[in-house]
Amino acid sequence: MVKIGLVLMLVTGWLAERLRDAAAWPINLVRDLPVRLGRLLRLLVYGVTGLGRLLADLFQPKPAGWGRTWRGRVTFGLHHLGCYLFDLIGGPELVQFVMHLAIPTTPLTVTEMHAAATILGPTALRYGEIRVAEGGVLRFIFRANKGRAFALWHTVHLPEGSRSDLSLLVHEITHIYQYEQLGSIYIGEALHAQWTLGHEAYRYGGSQGLKQAQREGKPYHKYTREQQAQIAQDYYRLLNQNDQQAIAYEPYIQALRKGEF
Ligand SMILES: [Zn+2]
């Protein structure tokens, strides 16, 4: 009898989560419409003015590297356009609905939420919407990517056995914060940094590097998406070790809390 009750709880719990995932699509479609539409309209204005500049440049003598610069601007524009349209139709919610069918997910625990809120701020992002995915088909993905955790939209994907590492969770939730502030473009930007810079995409020089960067006036948003998340992760770790090096991180953590990505 106890066994049947347990199975029933597991089945209804799973169904309730799938219904929650399905409901997230229309809810976020409406709730995030102003911010998603705003991003798209700003990009269109940028695109129209950019087109004007391109046409004006066509009639000028071409400086060295002219073609490369324009190719970069067009790639940037198309990447943003694709992501903004994808967000506008609720693509993130639809893909997560399908992914969660194959990967077991659970909400953040109170301890995990508290850890992230300590660094990012209690109202920085929609913590209740975050799900942690572990196991299932993820095992094959982690075999291919050498066990590297990653965050897609509102889902943190963790290799088995790494959930107790709260600093890693802070890193991944910083990516979710980037998603809420910037939209899906953060995924392409983080992957681009990983592919072009390798491990350097994460390195920022520790506390000494941040002190130096502060002297030079380098703002938080100039760091790569991976460095931004790594700064949050390392700050959490140092804070918990009562390490004085954490002080050097504070101006950057303040910018992070304000969502200055
Ligand atoms: Zn990362």
Residue range 120-174, pLDDT digits in tens? 999 999 999 999 999 989 999 999 988 999 999 999 999 999 999 999 999 999 9
Shared domain for 32 and 149, answered yes or no, is no
- How many Å lie between the centroid of ligand 1 and the Cα of residue 58? 40
Give the ranges where 89-199 is alpha helix by DSSP (H): 91-102, 110-120, 138-144, 166-182, 185-197
Picking from 54, 89, 124, the residue at the C-terminal end of a domain is 89
Strands 155-157 vs 131-133: parallel, antiparallel or unpaired: parallel
Question: Do residues 107 and 71 share a domain?
Answer: no
Please give the distance, rounded to the nearest whole angstrom, from the Cα atom of residue 231 to the centre of ligand 1. Answer: 10
The reply to whether 76 and 101 lie within a common domain is: no
Confidence class of residue 199 from pLDDT cuts 50, 70 and 90?
Answer: confident
Contact present, 100 and 18 (Cβ < 8 Å): yes
Tell me how far the alpha carbon of residue 160 lies from the centroid of ligand 1, in angstroms: 17
Total number of domains constituting the chain: 2
Give the confidence band of 54 by pLDDT, cuts at 50, 70, 90.
confident
Which pLDDT score, from 0 to 100, does residue 24 have? Answer: 96
Do residues 28 and 73 share a domain? yes
Residue 170 Cα to ligand 1 midpoint, Å, equals 10
For the chain, what percentages of helix, strand and coil (3-state, to nearest 5) are there?
Answer: 70, 5, 25
Work out the pLDDT band at 62, boundaries 50, 70, 90: confident
pTM of the model: 0.92
* Residue % of the chain over a pLDDT of 70: 100
Q: Which of the 8 DSSP states describes residue 154?
A: T
| 41/149 same-domain check | no
Whether residue 45 is predicted with pLDDT greater than 80 in this model: the reply is yes
Q: Does 105 lie in the same domain as 72?
A: no
**Residue 162 alpha carbon to ligand 1 centre in Å:** 15
Could you tell me the distance, in angstroms and rounded to a whole number, from the CA of residue 82 to the centre of ligand 1?
Answer: 22
Q: Which residues contact 100 (CB under 8 A, 6 or more apart)?
A: 17, 18, 21, 131, 133, 155
Domain shared by 224 and 249, yes or no: yes
Residue 152 sits in the same domain as residue 203: yes
Query: 188 and 232, same structural domain?
Result: yes
Distance, CA 110 to ligand 1 centroid (Å)? Answer: 22
Write down the pLDDT at residue 69.
Answer: 78
Structural domain ending residue among the three candidates 89, 112, 128: 89
Q: How far is the CA of 200 from the centre of ligand 1 (A)?
A: 12
CB 47 within 8 A of CB 77: yes
- Shared-domain flag, residues 79 and 102: no
| Ligand 1 centroid from CA 168, angstroms | 9
Last residue of a domain, one of 34, 69, 89: 89
102 and 58 in a common domain: no
DSSP 157: E
Between the CA of 224 and the centroid of ligand 1 the distance, in Å, is 10
Domain residues for 34?
A: 2-89
212 shares its domain with 125 = yes
Question: Per-residue pLDDT averaged across 202-228, rounded?
Answer: 96
Q: Rounded to whole angstroms, how far apart are CA atoms 57 and 220?
A: 32
